[in-house]
Every structure is written in C-alpha cells, then in structure tokens.
Amino acid sequence: MSTLAPVVAEPSLRIDDLCRRLRAYLDADQIKQVRRAYRFGAEAHEGQLRKSGEPYIQHPLEVAGILAEMHMDHETLVAAMLHDVIEDTPIAKERISEEFGPEVAQIVDGLSKLTQIEFESHAEAQAQNFQKMLMAMADDIRVILVKLADRLHNMRTLGALKPAKRRRIARETLEIYAPIAQRLGMNAIRLELEELGFQALYPLRHGVLTRVIQKIRGNRKEVIAKIKNRIKRQLRQEQLVAHVIGREKHLYSIYNKMRDKRLHFSEVHDVYAFRIIVDSVDTCYRTLGVVHGLYKPVPGQFKDYIAIPKANGYQSLHTVLFGPFGIPIEVQIRTNEMDQVAEAGIAAHWLYKTGESAARSAHKRARDWLRGVIEMQRRAGDSQEFLENVKVDLFPDEVYVFTPKGDIMELPRGATAIDLAYAIHTDLGNTCVGCRIDRRLVPLRTPLKTGESVEIVTAPGARPNPAWLNFVVTGKARANIRHYLKNLHQDEACTLGKRMLNRELERFDLSIETLDQERLQSALKSFNLANFDELLANIGLGVRPAPLVARVLVPGNQEERVEPARRRGRVENAPGPLLIHGTEGMVVTIPKCCYPIPGDPIMGFITAGRGIVIHHPSCKNVVEFRNAPDKWVDVEWADDLAREFSAEIVLDVANQRGVLATVAAGCADQSANIEGIELSERDEHHSHMRLTVGVRDRKHLADVIRVLRNIKTVVRVHRKRA
C-alpha cells in the first residue's frame, strides 16, 4: 500500500505529536528548528482565528503534518509553519530570512499573495498570484509541495465557509491544484483533492452517486474478491510473487465518465480496478501475459507506460480485460518502486530519498515541465493569458509520437504537428510549413496518433499563421504563436504608422527625420508613451489619428503658413493618397463584405485596434463611416502589387454530372486558385454556386469570368458585390 494514503484530520494535531513523528527521519537539531518555527508562527498569528473558530496557528501545524507524511526536509516544514506569516501579519521576508535562513524565506515569499496591489477583478488577482507562485516554484520546487498541502488542509476544513466561497475554492482546486498534483505524479494528494472538490462543488451529485454506490457495494465487494482471488491463484501457479490490490474506481472519475460520455451510472462498467505490484520490470511483462491468459484483453486498451513513462515520471502497464459476467476490469501492473513514485510523485524524491531512479526521474520531469511553464510565462501577454495556457497544459491525455531521429515525444491528445514543432523548439514552430506523418504529406491540422513517425517541414521565410490558434492544443504552442503575432502586429503597425505620419508631415515640408527632437519628446510625454515606436504603432493601429499627431509635432509658425492655404483650397504640399501594397499584414484589412481588388476604387477607414480597413465605395458597410470624416484615409492601390486578392463569383449552373470539375478546371486554366466554394440547389434543374477565387486584379478576374461564361453548363455568372 502507498505510504501517502490520504491523511485523516485529527481533532487537533499538537506540536508534540508532530515532533514525535519527525523523530523517524530528522535529527534533533532539525526538529528543534521546526518547534521554534511553530512558536514564531504562533506569536505572529496571536489573536487570529480561522472561520472554524480554532486558533490560526492550527492550520500551519496541520499543513506541516501533511508534509511530514511525505518525509519532507526540515526547511520545508519550517516554511509550512510560516507560510501565511508574510501575507497575514506585519512580519517581512527579511525577518524570516534572519531567523530561519534565505531558503525558508524564499519558499514563504513564493506562497504569499500579492496583497499590496489593486486588481481590477478576482480573476486577475488569482492569475497574478498563481503566476508568482509558479515562478517561485521554478526556483524551488518545494513551494508547490507546501501549497498543495496547504490546499489539502483547506479543503478538509471547507465546511466552515459560506457556500459561495466553498464553491469558488472547490472549482479552483479541481481546475488548477488537482491537475498540478497529477502533473507532479502525486496521485494520493490528487485523489483526495478531487474527492473533496467534487463534494464541495456538486454536493447533490456527490450525495446521489455515494448513495447509489453504497447500495450496490456489497455485491461489488464480492465480485472484486472473486476476481482478486482468481488472479492471485493464477500468479501462484506461474510461481510469480505479487501483491494484488482490488478497488472500486474513484468517485470523481466515475462522475467525469458519466458526464463526458453522457452515460447513466448503470452503463459505467469499468468501476473495477486491480493493481498488481511485483518485484521487477521483467516480472511486470510476465504478469501481463498471465492476466491476458486468464481474461481476454479489450483491443486497443493496452498502454505501456514502463517503456514510455508519462510526463510526470509515472510508470506502469495498463490493460483492460473482459472480466466475469462481461464486466470490463482495469489492471495496472508495476514494481514496488514504480508504485511509490505513482503515489508520491516528486515527493518520492524526499520520501524514499534519492537512491531510486524513478524518484529522480519524476523530479527531473517536473523540472522539465517547469521550464516549459517559464517559457509560456515569458511569451504570455498578461497573467490571465498565462493562467489559461497553463490550464490547457494541465489536462493532457497523452499520445506518443516519434521524430525522424527515433526520439519519443509526449503530447496531449488532439495535438497536431504544430504542437510537436513548438515542443521541440520555438524556431521550428515559427518556420513550420508542413508535415509528413509516416512519410505521407498531411495537413498541419491533422491530430497525431500514438506510434506515428512525424517529420516537420520548414521554410526559411515562413512565419506563424493566426489560423493555427484554432487547432493547436498545447499551452506552449499557443503562447509562442500569440507572442510572435503580437510582435509582428506591432512591427507592421509601426511601419504603417511611419508611412501615415510622413504623409501628413509632407503638408508642412517636414518628415520624421527632420522633426525637432525636443518637441517629439514633449509630445511623447503628453501622450504618456515610452518611445517613438509606440507612437508610430498607435498611429498604425488607428488609436491616434496621424493628422492630430502631425499637428502636435509641427512648430506653430509652419502650421500657420499652411492652414490659411488649406482653408482657401490651395495646399501645394498636400500629400498624395496612401498607397496600399497588400503586404502590410494585419494592420491593413481587406474585408469579405465587398472583396475589393486592385483596379477597383477604394476607400480607407481608420478603425481603433485594427489599423486601416479597405472598402469598395459601394459597400453597405461604408454607410457607418459617412458621418465620421475624421476616420477617412485617402488610399489608392500601388502599382507594384505582387500578391493575390480574394474575389467572389456567383454562378447559376445546370444540374449535370461533372459541372463542379468543369468550373474548377476553367479557374485553373486562368491560374486562379479556388479558396472556397458553396453549393446550394436552386430548383430541380439548376444549382446556385458561390466561388471565392484568388486573383491579381480586375483584368485577371474578368478573364476568369469570361472563361466560366463560355462553359455550356453555366447559365449565369457575375461578380458578387456587397
């Protein structure tokens, strides 16, 4: 059985009881330090009571008791005694450092919430505090162990709180802390957090399920005993020494299965699970053969986590069997060492010392995960985005794929080649253009499956596509794509803003290069901006109109010379239209409402946050800008356009076999790429077709329409305009 079985809360753990427990693995001086920390904490929290009415110091003492079960070192226990001191009392980090050393102070500080900062919402406060804790955890992994013990005791004593607060804390536990415990391999802690969280968040559902299970428990116990005895008997016949544990499935996992697969309780059959603990890896595989001989295995339900461990270091053989009465039973086969690590996770690093390779492996994998978390934090725009990315990362249902070199990569279920590329290296993700799965070219959005060999195809000039955000599943990929696009957006906005400001400055015989630097710095200060690039980006994104900024930057005497001429309608230096090249990126938008293409007359409108939106003058969406001339921008197509633009063609065609292929061939003959197609039946003889095609300009579009008009099955064809 696991050493980390859930701790039963004693009526009142006393410091003497704790110190007696610690004698089993700490020396006398270290125990004295823990006792001294208890006294220090008791004095600091003097007069403070918990909602339950007991003295506040009882909570840190219970947290230390949970950590003592894990055989944590004395510094962690001291930090547990003091973990709320900085947050809830006037004592500062420096004082703790003087009294108990910098390591203890660092752990306590990592666990203290940011109480001095005003937050706009509870969600923002939660995200900021979570981010602070994870960054501290990256420096010292013991931070999260104290936090999990703290959360576990809070969950055990949740009954004293108001229902709304109970539900909020329970939801946070199920969404963040139980998954973190799972990610770190701390199964016993996770199970108790999930059980308590489920009970607090959904008390009625928990009660109904508990009563149903209790009603049929007698019969189930009998079934478990029969299966267990048969497995033991068969193993003895094969002269294999093993410890067999039969158990019912965890209540929260039964509930999740019912919810996710929309099943009634009577339809959840695999509530029987058996764990077989043996002495060696070799015996694990021999035992697997015995149980497969005893009961038939369910196809596709075997997983070898010994050869390919989970990200948290978990190792075991998993198989599902057709048991007696047709009941599926889940069997896990592992060694003693694997069982210890499965229950304790990274805590096995302390609980079983560092001699065991699996314990060291769990600790290393936790460090690797944290490195990924830190990279996500660097790439995230704010703490709430970071929290969302971490939440995504905390719910993996793994697939294992191979790189061309034969390395095994673990990814969450549903992951694509983009996720794999970013998991290997950020630059590989940024330059990814395609992928080969088992040597076949497939779309980038294809979900990966366990056992596939995946090769990433890159190109030097490639860059992330915003559409990737619709199908990537890992937090790291999402954070890196957003970070790249954000910077790209900023660069493009900066370039466009520079063109727009220069165009306005031409009115005054000025340019950005000839601006007075003192006046520029004064303007930046008045706009409350850090630098000139930020100002240019604001102009490009439509946050600040270029004419207004130009007026602020131009000396008064030059403005006076130009203004009267402007009023008389004679401005020699009036700038020409802003040329649209189509390569401005995300700060110049060509909308789908009217599909303007080169050769069409166009109008530009400044839209805050999006830059310039280009419309055809006949577009219905131009109406909303008619009464806002300050948002108009004089624009014109540039001559040197080297890209294609989308246009929409509407066709009525005869209902004949092969008509779609004929239309597609006509477009291909004119080198027009079909980007989208919609087909609807108009009547029994005719269909209505909408094609979105990529064309260079109006002449190219006219050539495409002429070819389509000459097809016999095409009754009518025209360009669609808003």
pLDDT of 462 reads 79
The amino acid sitting at 213 is I
Amino acid in the structure at residue 572: E
Q: What is the mean pLDDT of residues 330-356?
A: 71
Highest mean pLDDT among 6-20, 402-416, 435-449, 494-508: 435-449
Are residues 212 and 343 both part of a single domain? yes
For residue 140, is it within any domain?
Answer: yes
Q: How far apart are CA 351 and CA 341, in angstroms?
A: 9
306 vs 270, which has greater pLDDT?
Answer: 306
More confident residue, 438 or 378: 438
- Residues 41/108, Cβ–Cβ less than 8 Å: no
Number of neighbouring beta carbons within 10 Å of residue 450: 14
pLDDT at 86: 87
Q: Are residues 213 and 147 in the same domain?
A: no
Residue 172: pLDDT over 60: yes
Q: Which residue has the higher pLDDT, 324 or 603?
A: 603
Residues 108 and 225 grouped into a single domain: no
Say if residues 483 and 426 touch (Cβ distance below 8 Å): no
Average pLDDT value for residue range 606-628: 80
Catalytic residues: 87-88
Predicted local distance difference test score (pLDDT) of residue 365: 61
**Residue 31 located in a structural domain:** yes
pLDDT confidence tier of residue 581, bands split at 50, 70 and 90: confident
**270 and 140 inside one domain:** no
**Tokens linked to 285:** 């595989």
State which of 346, 361, 376 marks the end of a domain: 361
pLDDT of residue 5: 39
Half-sphere exposure of 568 (CA within 13 A, CB side): 8
Model confidence at 354, pLDDT cuts 50, 70, 90, reads very low
Place 349 in a pLDDT band, splitting at 50, 70 and 90: low
| pLDDT confidence tier of residue 678, bands split at 50, 70 and 90 | confident
The mean per-residue pLDDT over the stretch 308-319 comes to 82
Question: Which residues make beta-bridge pairs with 540?
Answer: none
Residue 213's CATH number: 3.30.460.10
| Portion of the chain with pLDDT greater than 70, in percent | 81
- The residue among 641 and 35 whose pLDDT is bigger is 35
Helical ranges in 6-121 per DSSP H: 15-22, 28-44, 58-69, 74-81, 85-88, 93-100, 102-111
- Could you tell me the residue range of the domain that residue 113 belongs to? 15-156
Q: How confident is the model at residue 193 (pLDDT cuts 50, 70, 90)?
A: very high
Single out the residue in 361, 378, 396 at which a domain terminates.
361
Whether 289 shows a pLDDT value over 90: the answer reads yes
Query: 292 and 210 in one domain?
Result: yes
The residue length of the chain stands at 722
The pLDDT value given to residue 676: 83
Q: Which residue has the higher pLDDT, 66 or 352?
A: 66
Residue at 33 is within a domain: yes
Q: Which two tokens mark 324?
A: 């007696």
pLDDT range class, residue 201, cuts 50, 70, 90: very high
Name the band, by pLDDT with cuts 50, 70 and 90, for residue 286: very high
What interhelical angle do 122-139 and 102-111 show, nearest 10? 160
> Taking 70 as the threshold, does the pLDDT of residue 387 lie above it?
no
pLDDT at 4: 41
Q: Are residues 26 and 140 in the same domain?
A: yes
Where is pLDDT greater, at 186 or 651? 651
The DSSP element (H or E) to which 691 belongs, if any, is: strand 686-695
The whole-number average pLDDT for the span 509-521 is 82
Inform me whether the pLDDT recorded for 633 exceeds 90. Answer: no
Greatest mean pLDDT among 77-81, 225-229, 372-376, 555-559: 77-81
Contacts of 576 (CB under 8 A, 6+ apart): 503, 634, 636
CB 168 within 8 A of CB 354: no
pLDDT tens for 436-456 read: 988 888 888 889 987 788 999
- Residue 35, domain member (yes or no): yes
The verdict on 210 and 118 lying in the same domain is: no
Predicted local distance difference test score (pLDDT) of residue 706: 93
Q: Rounded CA gap, 553 and 722, in Å?
A: 40
Phi first, then psi: give them for residue 413, nearest 5 degrees: -60, 140
- In this structure, the answer to whether residues 135 and 274 fall within a common structural domain is no
Q: Do residues 50 and 58 touch, judged by C-beta distance below 8 A?
A: yes
Q: Is the confidence at residue 276, as pLDDT, over 90?
A: yes
* Total structural domains within the chain: 3
Instruction: Name which of 298-302, 326-330, 474-478 the model is least confident about.
Output: 326-330
Q: Verify that 30 and 138 share a domain, yes or no.
A: yes
Task: Specify whether 56 is located in the same domain as 133.
Answer: yes
Q: Give the pLDDT band (50/70/90) at residue 568.
A: very low
Residue 87 lies in a domain: yes
Secondary element (H or E) of residue 494: helix 475-505
Q: What is the CATH number of the domain that holds 81?
A: 1.10.3210.10
For the chain, give the mean pLDDT.
Answer: 80
For 24-83, how does the pLDDT look when each residue is reduced to its tens digit (9 = 90+)?
888 999 999 999 999 999 999 988 888 878 899 999 999 999 988 888 889 999 999 998
Higher pLDDT, 216 or 684: 684
pLDDT value of position 79: 92
Pair 221, 151 in one domain: no
Over residues 140-166, the pLDDT tens digits come to: 778 888 888 999 999 998 888 888 899
- Round to whole Å and give the CA distance between 590 and 30: 69
Count CB-CB contacts under 10 A for residue 235.
21
pLDDT at 520 over 80: yes
Q: For residue 668, give the CATH number of its domain.
A: 3.30.70.260
End-to-end CA distance of the chain: 71
Say whether both 152 and 219 belong to one domain.
no
Residue type, 532: F
Q: Of 34-48, 201-215, 482-496, which range is least confident?
A: 482-496
Identify whether 688 is part of a domain. yes
Strongest mean pLDDT among 114-118, 198-202, 370-374, 467-471: 198-202
In angstroms, rounded to a whole number, what is the distance separating the alpha carbons of residues 663 and 15? Answer: 84
Q: Which of 336, 361, 386 is the last residue of a domain?
A: 361
* Predicted TM-score of the model (pTM): 0.57
In a domain, 424, yes or no: no
Out of 14-18, 259-263, 411-415, 522-526, pick the least confident. 259-263
Is residue 490 domain-resident? Answer: no
Whether the predicted pLDDT of 674 surpasses 90: no
